[in-house]
Structure 1
């Protein structure tokens, strides 16, 4: 590739810090320079990359080029329409610092605000409100991207059929249909920067899951932390919605302070190196016991700031280093309600193999959208972070994959680092239709990633 854009060589990994890849990194400063990079690229040589929060190999291309879109940083808020147009390189953290003081919130936010707008579209990220409002791309009104021929395209979900097909192929398309340059999406109006949270503690998984089903129709946001090492799977359920001005009033008087104040900060940094044995069954069991006991048995209407409720781990910068130099992986699946038994089955399998997880999250999903590669489907999603070096772990996960597939479930591409091509192709039934649209958008096959190569996409 010969362009005038400076490149550097870098060793990249996903957030799990496994599978390092040597890549060229290009940072185009304009739309024209981006088009030049794409137009001159060889087949299977390019993939865009945001902040590197995909856990596995989705945003790297060994021996190829990664496109850094940090220069695409425009933010334009339309207060009247309740929408924002943001460049693909803008992080959700940057956006929230603009939106919240103006009285708006993201329509969907994942568990970290350190994700770019381009990445949010490319992975069709989901949050604690999927059971009510779906995933991120449900709220996107327009995507601008450069396709594999170097053409600038505007895509909307409600355009002509071919345009809509291209839009939905790009949603959750993991950067394989083109390079997103900006997106316009709708927002949630808010009057305060606080969340009114109800918390309940459950001594077993059955009671917790029953409460989550009941919460589907009562709360906008719902998420459960599960003690993965406890034999009964006890947990803590937190549900809520944006607090109103009246909830901030003191003694029935005027609202206290700045109701839309927002200034989150990372509180600490994880050590640069931790011995691989520090995170083990004993230390995680102690952490889980403390976390469970500190949660109230029942509390209603507690006012929490946005950051600790939606992005608790962002309070520790580089928290992925706690797993030590060998890194970690996340096992996240979605299954229908009829396969709810796979939640305790998975927790038991991880306990049996000795894979400690202090971050085990259970959520409810609502209806899927029209994106062929979108992960959410109605039912349950469980996510567990575990050290990558646990002996026998990969064999156990392969066995769990078979059960997930047999139940009609699937794994999340943005978190995956090890599923097989056969598993992926079996569990995403619209893959062939997606491939047809992708071939129209990238006729030379320019876009590829280590994930795409591993899964034979």
Structure 2
């Protein structure tokens, strides 16, 4: 069938020749049509750009690989098929006293996709990426071969596939180790800061003493914001109710509702809203604030938006962050929920993993065509001069030179790409 797949950013537009709905992990892979780019796994479609798109090729829809294989509630070791979502995992394990060891900002992604993009979360400074907690997975290649990969067995395939963008073959199942919790409740500490110097001071003060730490920043006002740090609480205390169903964005506007006027008004209200210095919160709204609004990507209109996420190395991160906020403020573009965080030193086993020691900024820009692309090129120049990198899972337009400089293991990785697999992202930047 012809694909209707899109990215979460709704840009770039995508055309795929065929889709294959996978439901049996024991079955062989389909053979790509002659003359087409090949195969690519596609889960929930929450990547922002073209890393999960395969224009003119075939998409392997993995959502049908949705079975739990094994779970030991005594040790927290979980094995599940690659199409199981993080939301489904949490539904199973939270009542039994477990949580994901690392989670991105949405729980509506597949386990296989989370491994392929080596997702990170608010606890990276201590826990590293999800790849640091993967115990094993099965990799199915287009030649029919299967490898059970662990840090010790087929270690090279293990390193190539974690963060490997779905290009080394199909991940059929994954085994991870979970985190023990007493209850799904966090004690959250909040502190306002008036600029980036305030962020660095709070990060040094609070970051080392809390498992989770992140800051919302006002990208139009020099980086003022709210720093939040959190830890799961122990037993006892009053229970905190889980959030009820997500609100729906009831319309799909033809133009972006995010503009200079709405952005300044929102950021001012958000910064000055009453925020408790310390309190209890159910973990879901802390980890997944945007999951509370279904189809929130429609806010940016039918032309879509660009998410820009960079990492800046320690030696240059303070100066480069200041320069990024200066450019963004001068251009008057940005997003409601810009996120700033400091990554830790724990290295991922993935060769192409994005997180590395330093600071990371993530924010959205409505697609206004040439104006937005020009702004992104200005930000690229700052990131490149700092020796930083952009996140492939969020990218729809980074220059090839920045991809090559940001991922020095690319030549090593390329030898492990399945010859029958490809993606729009890979052909655009590396193939």
* TM-score class, shorter: over 0.9
* SS of alignment partner, residue 364 of structure 1: strand
Report if aligned partners of 1:106, 1:187 keep a CA contact under 8 Å in 2: yes
Shift of 1:200: 0.7
Residue number in structure 1 paired with 2:415: 436
Residue number in structure 2 paired with 1:183: 174
Q: What is the alpha-carbon distance in structure 1 between the residues aligned to residue 54 and residue 230 of structure 2? A: 40
Q: Which runs of 5+ in 2 are unaligned?
A: none
Once the two structures are overlaid, the 10-residue window that deviates more, 397-406 or 132-141, is: 397-406
2:281 is equivalent to residue 304 of structure 1: yes
Residue number in structure 1 paired with 2:71: 77
Q: What is the alpha-carbon distance in structure 1 between the residues aligned to residue 147 and residue 298 of structure 2? A: 39
Q: What is the alpha-carbon distance in structure 2 between the residues aligned to residue 151 and residue 39 of structure 1? A: 17
Report if aligned partners of 1:55, 1:414 keep a CA contact under 8 Å in 2: yes
Residue number in structure 2 paired with 1:454: 428
Q: Aligned ranges for residues 268-307 of structure 1 at < 5 Å? A: 268-296=247-275, 299-300=277-278, 302-307=279-284
2:95 is equivalent to residue 121 of structure 1: no
Q: What is the alpha-carbon distance in structure 1 between the residues aligned to residue 176 and residue 230 of structure 2? A: 23
Q: How many residues align?
A: 427
Q: What is the alpha-carbon distance in structure 2 between the residues aligned to residue 145 and residue 278 of structure 1? A: 42
2:324 is equivalent to residue 349 of structure 1: no
Q: What is the alpha-carbon distance in structure 1 between the residues aligned to residue 252 and residue 406 of structure 2? A: 37
Q: What is the alpha-carbon distance in structure 1 between the residues aligned to residue 410 and residue 401 of structure 2? A: 12
* SS of alignment partner, residue 426 of structure 2: helix
Residue of 87, 96, 101 corresponding to 1:93 = 87
Shift of 1:406: 2.7
Residue number in structure 2 paired with 1:425: 404
* SS of alignment partner, residue 217 of structure 1: helix
Q: What is the alpha-carbon distance in structure 2 between the residues aligned to residue 134 and residue 90 of structure 1? A: 22
Q: What is the alpha-carbon distance in structure 2 between the residues aligned to residue 408 and residue 384 of structure 1? A: 20
TM (norm. structure 1) is: 0.89
TM (norm. structure 2) is: 0.95
Q: What is the alpha-carbon distance in structure 2 between the residues aligned to residue 83 and residue 238 of structure 1? A: 29
Q: What is the alpha-carbon distance in structure 1 between the residues aligned to residue 31 and residue 245 of structure 2? A: 36
Once the two structures are overlaid, the 10-residue window that deviates more, 417-426 or 388-397, is: 388-397
Q: Aligned ranges for residues 406-425 of structure 1 at < 5 Å? A: 406-425=385-404
2:297 is equivalent to residue 316 of structure 1: no
Residue number in structure 2 paired with 1:46: 39
* SS of alignment partner, residue 131 of structure 1: helix
Q: What is the alpha-carbon distance in structure 1 between the residues aligned to residue 384 and residue 84 of structure 2? A: 35
Shift of 1:82: 1.7
Residue of 239, 245, 254 corresponding to 2:235 = 245
Report if aligned partners of 2:327, 2:378 keep a CA contact under 8 Å in 1: no
CA RMSD of aligned residues (A): 1.8
CA pair 36-277 structure 1, distance change in 2 beyond 3 A: closer
Shift of 1:384: 1.0
Q: What is the alpha-carbon distance in structure 1 between the residues aligned to residue 38 and residue 61 of structure 2? A: 14
Report if aligned partners of 2:107, 2:291 keep a CA contact under 8 Å in 1: yes
Q: What is the alpha-carbon distance in structure 2 between the residues aligned to residue 116 and residue 286 of structure 1? A: 35
Q: Which runs of 5+ in 1 are unaligned?
A: 1-7, 249-255
Shift of 1:265: 4.2
